[in-house]
Amino acid sequence: MEQALEVLRTVFGYQDFRGQQAAVIEHVLKGEDTLVLMPTGGGKSLCFQVPALVCKGTAVVVSPLIALMQNQVDRLKELGVRAAYLNSSQSPAAARDVERMLRAGNLDLIYVAPERLTMDSCIALLKGVEISLFAIDEAHCISQWGHDFRSDYLQLSLIVEEFPSVPVIALTATADERTRQEIVKRLRLRSARTFVSSFNRPNIQYRVTEKVTAKDQLLDFIRSEHQDDAGIVYCLSRKTVEATAKWLVQKGVNAIPYHAGLSTGVREKNLSKFLKEDGVVVVATIAFGMGIDKPDVRFVAHIDLPKNIEAYYQETGRAGRDGDAATAWMVYGIQDAIMLRKMASQGDGSAAFKRIEAQKIQALLGYCELTSCRRQALLQYFGEESQNACGNCDACMTPIASWDATIEAQKAMSNIHRTGQRFGVGHLIDVLMARPSDKIQSLKHDEVSTYGIGKDQSEGVWRSVYRQLVARDLVRVDDYGSLALTEKSKSILRGEEKLFLRTSSLKEGKASTKSRSKKRAGASKSPTPRYSPAPAKIGSGNSLFKALSALRLELAKKQDLPSYCIFHNATLEEMARLKPKTKSDLLEISGVGAAKLEKYGQIFIDAINQHH
């Protein structure tokens, strides 16, 4: 362990291990199999990188995404680590070079794509060299229940057969018990010890807002809180991705699209732009993100709902890996609820599978409609109890009021009943509000008893009511988007039970007096969180920090590397605060190791000394 600490300090430039890192590394160094569950940004990479440098031989890292291997290898090389990768994007000559280095024992780490590793030729190659350990990154890809299943991961159980004396460390940020068990079983880990870290990401602020016009809300959010920050915007369809990216560009945001329908060339170009330049916003389908370890993503925005809570947690987890404050922001409306419900009933999975999917969707909708701390709910979903409300989510910062919506719910539900349980929400609201239409006329819906009984509320309120009825499973949606009542609705229709709903942000004004809205006056749109990362931060307005960032960008551009490969923001901030004058002062700063000191030390010291 002494050696491990030495490596941490000299190579990585960090003073101490974080959280479970030391315990994990100690276990790996004993030669035992290990399963590591840590949230994104928790510091998984060091759990295998440090042992790789301490142990004799080469560590083999299995990583699912070719596009990102290069990035990881570049970062290690910047630290002076002897690392390389083998995958199908390489020329045969380049691959032969890597193989030669491997045979000569000149590599500490080699990254290999799963489909490559399980080839006979690769196994034979590895048998001829000394392997220190196998690290399986994104190990949840082996689980069919998870959301990133990759069939080539199934073959990885070969490793244990072919290399029985080499320890295996599997790592993932997916927490649920079922996935965990599947990883151990399918990789055939031998009496593996599991290390579970807390999945709390205190620096991420969780917010969910009612969807009105998603694009405008998004732009408003970016402009008011994340101008010039790097971020990810998730949408459901390629079409929305394209349209949103184009629109943001028109509005002056440095945005690019990313989805599976783009050519490989464009995708690579966009990914590299996002990784290498500062302040790029990528608008993407969920095809984007796994393994992206850009540390300074400041926000993740969902303008469509994710598939379930696991996916939400993973996607939002891509924000703020560097530990600085970041925002997970989502807008959500009735159409999203309807869409997810429809998706749950469709598909050709088994009945049991559908039931699980439906439960997962229910949990996600429940999360959206929460009026209590979102972080507590998320952690609880992953089996973690936390005593206190977090102070850094919308529910904690601006308490969300609820109102007694029993009567409105009764009206909305009788309206479904009276019109025959065959219509979508648009028509239902027209009937409630007595808005004439051809459809109403031809169906004679102006003669039903619910016609016009909802004139006292705005359309926004009715949308919010229907949305929450769907979210609470009081109303069901069929394949065509028609709403029908469920068994659960009866007690409310009969007045046996009251129903409290979230106060809609659209509800202010017209209806609020009548329905006794308790929404607090003066609740601001972007409240100040209680969370602030320690220590006191140098703002991005600091002129030395700015000068150092510019220097970093210049150095990065020259080498065609992302700027965080040179130094992280936190490291530059510390430099701006402590103003080191000598190389040994600089070495004290977190994130400065021997290789970087050698390569960049003098340049940064000069810049600090010259700055006035």
- Of ligand ADP, Zn ion, none, which one does residue 38 interact with (CB within 5 to 8 Å by kind)? ligand ADP
Stretch that binds Zn ion, among 222-230, 294-302, 373-381, 594-602 (CB under 5 A): 373-381
390, 453, 551, 556: which one contacts Zn ion (CB under 5 A)? 390
Give the one residue of 169, 204, 393, 551 binding Zn ion; rule: CB under 5 A. 393
Nearest residue (CB) to ligand ADP, 44 versus 411: 44
Q: Which is nearer to ligand ADP, 41 or 333 (CB)?
A: 41
Q: Which of Zn ion, ligand ADP, none does 41 bind, CB closer than 5 to 8 A by kind?
A: ligand ADP
* Residue 135 binding: pick among ligand ADP, Zn ion, none (C-beta 5-8 Å cut-off by kind): none
Query: Least distance in Å: CB of 205 to Zn ion?
Result: 9
Place of tokens 């530059």: 572
Among 204, 373, 461, 548, binds Zn ion (CB under 5 A): 373
Q: How far is the CB of 133 from ligand ADP (least distance, A)?
A: 16
> From the CB of residue 20, how many other CB atoms can be counted at a distance below 10 Å?
20
For the CA atoms of 379, 385, 386, 392, what is the dihedral angle to 10 degrees? 10
Beta carbon nearer to Zn ion, 393 or 461:
393
Residue with Cβ nearer ligand ADP (311 or 412): 311
Nearest residue (CB) to Zn ion, 388 versus 449: 388
Residue 291's binding partner out of ligand ADP, Zn ion, none, with CB under 5 to 8 Å set by partner kind = none
Applying CB under 5 A, the span of 210-218, 391-399, 425-433, 504-512 interacting with Zn ion comes to 391-399
Q: Binding to Zn ion by residue 233, rule CB under 5 A?
A: no
Residue in the structure block whose two tokens are 């159980």: 157
| Strand residues in 188-345 grouped as ranges (E) | 193-196, 204-210, 231-234, 255-258, 281-284, 299-302, 326-332
Amino acid making up residue 284: A
Which residue lies nearer to Zn ion by CB, 57 or 391? Answer: 391
Residues whose CB is less than 8 angstroms from the CB of residue 65 and which lie 6 or more positions away in sequence, other chains included = 290, 291
Contact call for residues 466 and 334 (beta carbons, < 8 A):
yes
Q: ω before 527 within 30° of 0 (cis)? A: no
244: CB partners within 8 A, 6+ apart = 215, 218, 233, 235, 255, 257, 283, 303
Q: Which is nearer to ligand ADP, 14 or 531 (CB)?
A: 14
Cα angle, residue 523 at apex, residues 519 and 529 outer, rounded to 5°: 125
Cα–Cα distance measured from residue 400 to residue 371, given in angstroms and rounded to the nearest whole number: 5
Smallest CA-to-CA distance from 571 within 38, 15, 4 is with 15
Q: Which does 368 bind (CB under 5 to 8 A by kind): Zn ion, ligand ADP, none?
A: none
The Cα 546–Cα 573 span in angstroms is 10
Half-sphere exposure (Cβ direction) of 349: Cα atoms closer than 13 Å = 15
Spell out, one character per residue from 332 to 371, where the chain touches Zn ion: x when CB under 5 A holds, - when not. ----------------------------------------
Nearer to ligand ADP, 5 or 125 (CB): 5
Give whichever of 44 and 519 is closer to ligand ADP, judged by the CB atom. Answer: 44
CB atoms under 10 Å from CB of 576, counted, come to 20
Q: Where along the sequence are the contacts to ligand ADP (CB under 6 A)?
A: 14, 17-18, 21, 38, 40-46, 293, 295, 321-322, 568, 590
Q: Which amino acid is at 195?
A: F
Please give the Cα distance from 135 to 58 (Å, whole number): 11
375 binds Zn ion (CB under 5 A): yes
Partner from Zn ion, ligand ADP, none contacting 147, C-beta within 5 to 8 A by type: none
Binding site for Zn ion (CB under 5 A): 373, 375, 389-390, 393, 396
